[in-house]
Amino acid sequence: MLNKRMEILKQLATEAPTKIVMLVIDGLGGLPDKDGMTELERAFTPNLDEIASRGETGLLEMVDVGITPGSGPGHLALFGYDPVEFTVGRGILEVLGTGGKVSRGDVCARGNFATWGVQDVILDRRAGRIETDKSRELVERLSEAIKEIDGVRITYYPGLEHRFSVVFSGDGLCDCVSDADPQKDGASMRWAEPLSEEGSKMADIVNKFIREARNVLDGEPKANGCLLRGFSGVPDIPHLGELYKIKPLGLASYPMYRGLASLVGMDVLEVENNPIKLIEELQARWDAYDFFYLHVKHGDSRGEDGDTLGKIKVIEEVDKVMPLLMELSPDVLVVTGDHSTPSRMKGHSWHPSPLVLLSPYVRPDGISTFGERDCARGSLGIIPAWKLMGLLLAHGRRLKKFGA
């Protein structure tokens, strides 16, 4: 069901020979450190600064004031969907991103290998970010040992580092269960609970699965257990191509973000988690598409680890490849994040994400550097992220006039 604004955009959308690039640096926004500067402000970004000086800047409110967004709602907003109206669980995104198959009635979940201590205290929710090869080995071990529970079939999909995903298939399943995850290190395990009467069977299956997985993984030095979260089934969501007459491509290294792109109807391509490789793949497919979503992951990861210098390095690596991107002469370019991940907080936050927009039709606003406080003074102001898509289409000359 489309809201009124999406219906209007759909009616106004028209084809045009223009190229739109959306570059998302995951977790881009930050908070000032003891010296008074955020990671983005401290980073050496001459190319992004130059783009800011020629474009329009502002801040994106991903969900609403004071609400901390997950990556799913943040990205849905960037793609033009009000995340309050369109809710999608993380599990199905992870499964779709790995190329998995999901049917109506299935329930998907995102898994983390984790380090369990005595009395079910979770010492490390990410098992030290174990190597992907090791994670795949553990997924194979689980898939051999736990094929079903109480008649519910379990299908596994390996991910990157400590991540994997599972699909539960059987009768009477419902995704209305809470995360089986304490959400922080050093806390006692929080088991899945039904969020409605229909979720009782699913919660029981989930908790049995985690206990059996503990037995299978017993003896592993780091990944001696797992956590599950983001329970979700197949959502009903309209595709970008149908809505806005664009042919979109998503380029991302992590499964969840490919899943998000796939969910909204993009063709998707797995790329190395390397900004240069990202731009090379963009160059190779430039003629075949007209909307490009590029995702850079590790800004968020470094922020969650509290690694300020690491996050600065990720931002600087992106800045270095901007000249290669600009050689393609995109008609519309936007650089932003899907949420803020301040290193100080070691997690997502509610702070709006910095934004720069460049096209032949901008009104340069006098901002000469790309940073949170500079963007706060920009001409775009603070806008709801789900309204960004309309702005990109307008700058791409892809919207007809509204009314007589």
Residues 305-331: tens digit of each pLDDT: 999 999 999 999 999 999 999 999 999
**DSSP-assigned beta bridge partners for residue 112:** 163, 227
Q: Where would I find the H helices in 180-331?
A: 200-217, 240-244, 255-263, 275-284, 298-304, 308-326
Gyration radius of the chain over CA positions: 21
For residues 321 and 275, the answer to whether their CB atoms sit within 8 Å is yes
Same domain, 242 and 387: yes
Last residue of a domain, one of 214, 232, 250: 232
- Return the ∠ at Cα 157 (arms to 133 and 184), rounded to 5°: 80
Q: How far apart are CA 326 and CA 304, in angstroms?
A: 30
Closest CA to 225 of 141, 305, 153: 141
CATH number at residue 347: 3.40.720.10
Q: Which residues are CB-contacts of 324 (< 8 A; sequence separation ≥ 6)?
A: 276, 279, 283
Dihedral, CA atoms, 19, 25, 27, 28, nearest 10 degrees? -100
- Residue 404 domain flag: no
- The total number of structural domains that make up the chain: 2
- Residue 41 domain flag: yes
For residues 170 and 188, the answer to whether their CB atoms sit within 8 Å is no
CATH number at residue 177: 3.30.70
Q: Which residues are CB-contacts of 186 (< 8 A; sequence separation ≥ 6)?
A: 121, 122, 123
Same domain, 226 and 298: no
For residues 148 and 142, the answer to whether their CB atoms sit within 8 Å is no
Same domain, 185 and 57: no
What are the angstrom distances between the C-alpha of 396 and each of 15, 26, 60, 357, 360? Answer: 10, 24, 20, 12, 9
Q: What is the mean pLDDT of the chain?
A: 94
Closest CA to 195 of 175, 173, 177, 174: 177
Domain carrying residue 263: 17-88+238-395
Q: How far apart are CA 364 and CA 313, in angstroms?
A: 28
Last residue of a domain, one of 185, 213, 232: 232
Percentages helix, strand, coil for the chain (3-state, rounded to 5) are 35, 25, 40
Same domain, 246 and 390: yes
Same domain, 205 and 266: no
Same domain, 367 and 259: yes
**Residues in the chain, pLDDT under 50:** none
Same domain, 336 and 198: no
Look at residue 51 in the predicted model and tell me its pLDDT. Answer: 98
Same domain, 226 and 273: no
- Residue 383 domain flag: yes
Q: How many residues are recorded in the chain?
A: 404
Closest CA to 109 of 172, 186, 169: 169
- Residue 188 domain flag: yes
The SS3 call for residue 32 is coil
Same domain, 190 and 305: no
Closest CA to 51 of 332, 281, 290, 387: 332
pTM, 2 dp: 0.80
Dihedral, CA atoms, 136, 261, 79, 351, nearest 10 degrees? 10
Same domain, 263 and 135: no
- Residue 7 domain flag: no
- Residue 12 domain flag: no
Last residue of a domain, one of 189, 206, 232: 232
Dihedral, CA atoms, 64, 69, 73, 76, nearest 10 degrees? 70
Look at residue 1 in the predicted model and tell me its pLDDT. Answer: 66
Same domain, 51 and 73: yes
- Residue 270 domain flag: yes
Residue 379 CA to chain centroid, in angstroms? 27
Same domain, 222 and 363: no
**DSSP-assigned beta bridge partners for residue 183:** none
- Residue 166 domain flag: yes
